[in-house]
Structure 1
Amino acid sequence: MSELPVVGVLLGNSAGVGPELVAKLAVKNFYADYFRPVIIGDVRMFEHGLKVIGGDVPHYVISDLSECDWTRGYPVLDLKDQDPEKVVYGEANEYCGASDLLQLDTAIDLCKAGKIEGFVFGPFHKGAMKMAGLHDESEHTYLAHAFNLTTPFCEVNMMDDLMTVRTTSHIPISEVSANITEQNLREAIELAEITGESFGHKPRIAVAALNPHCGEFGLCGREEVDVIQPTIEKVVKETGWNVTGPYSADTLFISALAGDFDVVVTMYHDQGQIALKLVGFQRCITVAGGQPYPIATCAHGTAFDKVGKGTATTDSFERAVKAVSRMALAKRAKA
């Protein structure tokens, strides 16, 4: 275990199932095969999660990562900010949103200081974070600002070994076509390449079409002819990356899910989300694509309807743990 990466495990939003998920994997000793975990959050919320699931595990509070000794159990970097008696479970609130941001800030600082190699986090709640002062669109934008990123970044959806990257993301469908530009598509393809490489290999990238039947050579839309195909050709010529397409979106995922591609670049949010979540919702995770450190979380949210029942499944969170481990080891190998 001494050779495994040191990775932060953030409890997530206190009003949701995050503390329960973190506790369940601790009781199962799941983390031990993938990294040396440092639990980040209020120790009382971790213990609350243990109580909810009816389990227990050796753990101890640390104030600095130099105090970690995994032979003693799980080290908990106690943020001392969440009293379980004050948490309003099952709803978004400023009190818990502030903790989400504190957990993020703590993990960011630890990454920058070289004390952890990445982190996995229980589900945050964007609405609660905004109540607490988040001005960015999401935690991914917040991370990018904190890390001073100048290269493309976005949440990357992943199921098993297949990833999807979006050319456009959280915008209305009515605005998608206008945002299918050479620059936006180039950035999406670059993000696909960067994220694929973060798992230790050169990815096979497929680009989806926007229009039915791939636009029928301009008879059913011009985006493929005017933007998508020319951009793919330019990128391949300039970089040598393994990028092909455009492919009709209604058939592309048949071959992608069969293992023919590693990453699919989609034109809009639901084009890839529907395919992956339909096939394997519990197997989906979200990777913080383009960030300088391995970061991932489960694809589902805070599951307010399940909080406190101990019934939330850990499938997605387990895969997030595995993904961060793979990326951390790949980053080590590349260094």
Structure 2
Amino acid sequence: MTSTPTLDLPVVALTMGDAAGIGPEVIVPAVLDERVAAWCRPVVIGDVARLRSAAEILGVTCDVVAVDHVRDAEFRPGRINVVDLGLIPADLPWGELSSVAGHAAYEYIRVASELAVAGEVQAICTAPLNKEALHAAGHVFPGHTELLAHLTGTEEVSMMLSTPKLKVIHVTTHIGLLDAVAKIEPGLVERTVRRGHDALVRSGTPNPKIGLCGINPHAGENGLFGYGEEDLKIVPAVEVLRADGIDAVGPLPADTAFFLAGRGDYDLIVAMYHDQGHGPVKVLGIEAGVNITVGLPVIRTSVDHGTAFDIAGKGIAESGSMVEALRQAAELATSTTPVG
């Protein structure tokens, strides 16, 4: 048994995600994990009955307790505190697309965002939602990142993927490849690098070395490939960053940049578009990855896997990625203000 967390630990709003997916099943063991209790004070934004059902499926004995406010939460071994929105019917099937679950997932994020903006929580950690279910409920957002930016009134955020061996931040994410190339410009590249730099400094890397990928094969190979995008869109940003004392290097050929980072040459790689960054991270294993949104009023982390409808409700989902997401949420949390 672990001791009750001290009041200087950050409070993390842990959203339940899509109730038909594996979110509840990875939340229960993660919140009960002794390591998590030593890192932070998680409060689930979700549904008490669904979490109790998940605990029963897992064969876990615990107290899932509804609280009206974050400040009412009590932290002790075997207890899961839940701000219960009561949006999930008892007969909601596991593993099936549901607009009801999609709407509930939206509401969990909305409440967590309000708590973050009000300063009642110092980080948000999200279980996976299903985009099709979210859209079916009338909430048309590409994903968590864009939804959180909208709800917190944040104009621009960046997605960072973090593993024990590799950290990657994206200049563009959920748009088509041609649109991504058109969107990339020196200001956006510069702001993305600064957000990544600040996040790493906050987590204990005082002078991170940052490598920027090129857009074209071999980073354009001196104009041989592409139409000079690297010189137009990336080089000016690197020059400004270096003049400000940020150790930024690039543009680098993307096919070697990730290898170099994996062996320790770079603390952070800047990917120019979604698949350029996601592919190498997921090769390392989805269970090892954490999705971090930087640029919000608070840090937001998430597991780097989906709702896994095919195994939901079977009690076989792994909670390791959720534990790691909570660890990084605590590590990067904006402050350590006590509850209440």
| TM-score, reference length from structure 2 | 0.90
Percent identity, aligned pairs only, is: 29
Q: What is the 5 A alignment of 1:72-87?
A: 73-85=79-91, 87=92
Give the Å deviation of 1:30. 4.3
Aligned AA (1:249): A
Aligned AA (2:134): M
Counterpart residue number, 2:213: 208
Aligned AA (2:162): M
In structure 2, C-alpha distance between the alignment counterparts of 1:244 and 1:14, rounded to whole Å: 43
Counterpart residue number, 1:268: 273
SS where residue 135 of structure 2 aligns? helix
Give the Å deviation of 1:201. 3.3
Deviates further, 304-313 or 21-30:
21-30
Counterpart residue number, 1:195: 199
Counterpart contact for 1:285–1:299, Cα < 8 Å = yes
In structure 2, C-alpha distance between the alignment counterparts of 1:198 and 1:143, rounded to whole Å: 21
Task: Give the counterpart of 2:182 among 168, 178, 183.
Answer: 178
Residues 213 and 92 (structure 1), Cα distance of their counterparts in 2 relative to 1, 3 Å cut: same
In structure 1, C-alpha distance between the alignment counterparts of 2:270 and 2:239, rounded to whole Å: 15
- The reply to whether residue 298 of structure 1 matches residue 303 of structure 2 is yes
SS where residue 116 of structure 1 aligns? coil
Counterpart residue number, 2:320: 315
Task: Give the counterpart of 1:225 among 231, 237, 249.
Answer: 231
Give the Å deviation of 1:332. 4.4
* Stretches of structure 1 lacking an aligned partner (at least 5 in a row): none
Counterpart residue number, 1:250: 255
Relative to its length, the structure with more helix (as a share) is 1
Give the Å deviation of 1:321. 0.8
SS where residue 217 of structure 1 aligns? coil
* Number of equivalences: 329
- The reply to whether residue 57 of structure 1 matches residue 85 of structure 2 is no
Counterpart contact for 1:26–1:57, Cα < 8 Å = no
Counterpart contact for 1:180–1:223, Cα < 8 Å = no
Deviates further, 191-200 or 3-12:
191-200
Residues 181 and 99 (structure 1), Cα distance of their counterparts in 2 relative to 1, 3 Å cut: same
Task: Give the counterpart of 2:241 among 235, 243, 262.
Answer: 235
In structure 2, C-alpha distance between the alignment counterparts of 1:106 and 1:278, rounded to whole Å: 34
Q: What is the 5 A alignment of 1:38-53?
A: 38-53=43-58
Deviates further, 240-249 or 131-140:
131-140
Give the Å deviation of 1:266. 1.1
SS where residue 84 of structure 1 aligns? coil
In structure 1, C-alpha distance between the alignment counterparts of 2:39 and 2:321, rounded to whole Å: 15
In structure 2, C-alpha distance between the alignment counterparts of 1:25 and 1:139, rounded to whole Å: 20
- The reply to whether residue 164 of structure 1 matches residue 168 of structure 2 is yes
Q: What is the 5 A alignment of 1:7-18?
A: 7-18=12-23
Deviates further, 88-97 or 169-178:
169-178
Counterpart contact for 1:182–1:231, Cα < 8 Å = yes
Counterpart contact for 2:102–2:137, Cα < 8 Å = yes
Residues 74 and 174 (structure 1), Cα distance of their counterparts in 2 relative to 1, 3 Å cut: closer
In structure 2, C-alpha distance between the alignment counterparts of 1:66 and 1:179, rounded to whole Å: 43
Residues 165 and 196 (structure 1), Cα distance of their counterparts in 2 relative to 1, 3 Å cut: same
Aligned-residue RMSD, C-alpha: 2.0
Counterpart contact for 1:14–1:45, Cα < 8 Å = yes
In structure 1, C-alpha distance between the alignment counterparts of 2:46 and 2:220, rounded to whole Å: 50
In structure 1, C-alpha distance between the alignment counterparts of 2:10 and 2:230, rounded to whole Å: 43
In structure 2, C-alpha distance between the alignment counterparts of 1:279 and 1:224, rounded to whole Å: 28
Counterpart residue number, 1:147: 152
Residues 51 and 252 (structure 1), Cα distance of their counterparts in 2 relative to 1, 3 Å cut: same
The C-alpha deviation readout for 1:180-223, integer Å capped at 9, x for no partner, is 32233223223322332342434321101122222221122322
Counterpart contact for 1:285–1:297, Cα < 8 Å = yes
Counterpart residue number, 1:326: 331
Deviates further, 282-291 or 27-36:
27-36
Task: Give the counterpart of 1:121 among 103, 126, 129.
Answer: 126
The C-alpha deviation readout for 1:209-251, integer Å capped at 9, x for no partner, is 12222222112232223332232112322x2211111111111
Counterpart contact for 1:163–1:262, Cα < 8 Å = yes
Counterpart residue number, 1:280: 285
In structure 2, C-alpha distance between the alignment counterparts of 1:144 and 1:305, rounded to whole Å: 30
Counterpart residue number, 1:25: 30
